[in-house]
Amino acid sequence: MTAWYEKTAHEIRDALRQGETTAVEITQNFLDRIDAVDKQVGAYLQIWNESALEQAVQIDARLANGEDVGPLAGVPMSLKDLFCTLRGNTTCASRMLANFESPYNATAVQRLEDAGAIFLGKVNLDEFAMGSSTENSAFQKTRNPWNLNCVPGGSSGGSAASVAADCCTFSLSSDTGGSIRQPASLCGCVGLKPTYGRVSRKGQVAFASSLDQIGPMCKDVEDAALVLNVICGKDPLDATTADLPVPNFSKALTGDVKGLRIGLPKEYFTESLNPEMRALIEQAIDVLKGQGAEFMEVSLPHTDYAVAVYYIICTAEASANLARFDGVRYGFRHPDAKNIQELYVKSKSEGFGPEVQRRIMLGTYVLSSGYYDAYYLKAQKVRSLIKQDFDRAFEQCDVILTPTSPTQAFQFGAKTDPLEMYLSDIYTISTNLAALPGISLPCGLTKDKLPAGLQLIGKPFDEAAILRTAHCYEQNRGFDMGKAPIA
């Protein structure tokens, strides 16, 4: 029997259309795989066996009827448990929302369902997407399928692990400061963060509203384009989605990068970049050079300030976004609250984990009376400078290439100091601050047999360019990443 779980979305789509198999068989194949390996990986918080098979039955019936079933028909996938779904619970990996049932589907979730995607269930994350290792989940540990002693990255660790362990074809994730790209890098997946405004955030439980963006975590670049086609575009229910024409991103994968100008920001290739990572990135540069891309050095002079800017803005926005979890309309309510004050204080203090509380505290501080100008306003101004850096760099080049993460996957408990953890986002957060598209894709294994990732950053709304570049590299890199050693 074919191991459908090893296949990509486009392979499954083609097999179904050619009548080689059925959606039910494929879905059952994935459910069996999850059953076999997810105990070790711990990616899934909820597995929707029944409804997944029901969806598959319907797809098969529609296929048999000759109906147009949509571009992702019969493709089993997972959802980061940060997206509101009518099915199951929407927990954000928080005690606060352990029993929360959303009365609506996120726009991206609905678009996937309408495109025929089959929801296998919801996967783990750092509580409310706050973290870089998925160690902040209130519910369970998710392990890196390449090495079960290592973290899968975060916050979309469950998404990355579920893709890397072949427990889904792709996963719907979100990225606020690297939460798609960093775990993709650590787990050897392709992770795409579209331009802010490309995909509706409606139904994504907000962490930092001006930075959050939904994107896919996939097995190859072609799938990333395929999923983006489905989820992107104007949503009247999200005032921050761009009303721009949407290209067919699959058509952007021409394999041609001749004359494409790729910038290498000198601030990203410093002494602090681990030499092994640097070597793998340089090999990737050579592959693209061989395909006719032109490389040049560019400068993003305010890079060193990005982490500070990012943690001011994201914590400030988070402090307001998370204020609604007060135990009144939904979520955890402390049983001992005697008055309204106690209801808030006890519910929040017990419902939120330590990292979430820390970020609420930081965000509240930087907005509080007397500190707003020094921190929040200052950060917004430096955000402008960071954006201008990119605008200038993109006058010289079409795409920027950087490492995704300064390190390979690290061991559980390796980073206990919050600031140290925050600094590990250094290569990904500028993309969010400047509202640009970014993609991470695997560029080899380290000597520890852990994946390394490279990042491509594009001009606003030019996902096509980074997808094309990524695809060209993927097709020509000359080696197979192989599979995570898990069975």
Partner 1 sequence: MSKITKEDVIYVASLAQLELDEAAQERLVHEMGDVINYMDKLNALDTDQVEPMMHALRMTNVLREDVVGESLSREAALKNAPKHDDEYFIVPKILENDNA
Partner 2 sequence: MEFEAVIGMEVHVELNSKSKVFCPCSTNFHAPANTNVCPVCLGMPGSLPVMNKDMVDKSVAVGLALNCTISRWSKMDRKNYFYPDLAKNYQISQYDLPLCYSGYMDVESDGHVRRVGITRAHMEEDTARNTHTIGNGESGVDFNRSGVPLLEIVTEPDIRSAQEAFDYLTQLKQILQYLNVSDCNMEEGSLRAEANISVRPKGSTPFGTKTEVKNVASFSGTMKAIDFEIKRQIQVIRDGGTIVQETRGWDADRGITFSQRMKESAHDYRYFPEPDLVPIVVDEAWELRIHEQQPELPNPRKHRFEADYGIPAYDAMVLTLTKSMADFFEATVAAGADAKKAANWIMGDLQALCSEAKRELGEEVLSPAHLAEMIRMIDAGEISGKIAKEVLAEMFASGKAPKTIVEEKGLVQISDSDALRESICQVLADNTPQVEQYKAGKERVIGFLVGQVMKATQGKANPQMVNELLKEELSKLS
Binding site for partner 1 (CB under 8 A): 99-101, 103, 196-197, 210-211, 236, 239-240, 242-243, 302, 304-305, 307-309, 311-312, 319, 323, 326-333, 337-346, 348-349, 352, 357-358, 360-362, 364-366, 368, 374-375, 377-385, 387, 417-419, 422, 435
The residue within the footprint of partner 2, chosen from 21, 40, 89, 240 (CB under 8 A), is 240
206 binds, among partner 2, partner 1, none (CB under 5 to 8 A by kind): partner 2
Print the binding letters for residues 333-362 with partner 2: x by CB under 8 A, - otherwise.
Answer: -------x---x------------------
Interaction between residue 382 and partner 2 (CB under 8 A): no
Print the binding letters for residues 10-49 with partner 2: x by CB under 8 A, - otherwise.
Answer: ----------------------------------------
179 a catalytic residue? yes
Interaction between residue 139 and partner 2 (CB under 8 A): no
Query: Which CB atom, from 24 or from 205, has the smaller least distance to partner 2?
Result: 205
3-state SS track over the chain = CCCHHHCCHHHHHHHHHCCCCCHHHHHHHHHHHHHHHHHHHCCEEEECHHHHHHHHHHHHHHHHCCCCCCCCCCCEEEEECCECCCCCCCCCCCHHHCCCCCCCCCHHHHHHHHCCCEEEEEECCCHHHCCCCCCCCCCCCCCECCECCECCCCCCHHHHHHHHCCCCCEEEEEECCCCCHHHHHHHCCEEEECCCCCECCCCECCCCCCCCEEEEEECCHHHHHHHHHHHECCCCCCCCCCCCCCCCHHHHCCCCCCCCEEEEEHHHCCCCCCHHHHHHHHHHHHHHHHCCCEEEEECCCCHHHHHHHHHHHHHHHHHHHHHHCCCCCCCCCCCCCCCHHHHHHHHHHHHCCHHHHHHHHHHHHHHCCCCHHHHHHHHHHHHHHHHHHHHHHHHHCCEEEEECCCCCCCECCCCCCHHHHHHCCCCCHHHHHCCCCEEEEEEEECCCCCEEEEEEEECCCCHHHHHHHHHHHHHHCCCCCCCCCCC
295 binds, among partner 1, partner 2, none (CB under 5 to 8 A by kind): none
358 binds, among partner 2, partner 1, none (CB under 5 to 8 A by kind): partner 1
299 a catalytic residue? no
141 a catalytic residue? no
Query: Which CB atom, from 315 or from 408, has the smaller least distance to partner 2?
Result: 315
- Give the nearest distance from C-beta 147 to partner 1 in angstroms: 29
Query: Which CB atom, from 201 or from 359, has the smaller least distance to partner 2?
Result: 201
Active-site residue among 137, 179, 185, 405?
179
Q: Which residues are catalytic?
A: 80, 155, 179
Question: Contact residues for partner 2 (CB under 8 A)?
Answer: 83-84, 90, 92, 97, 100, 102-104, 106, 201-206, 208-210, 236-240, 316-317, 319-320, 323-326, 328-330, 340, 344, 364, 367-369, 372, 376
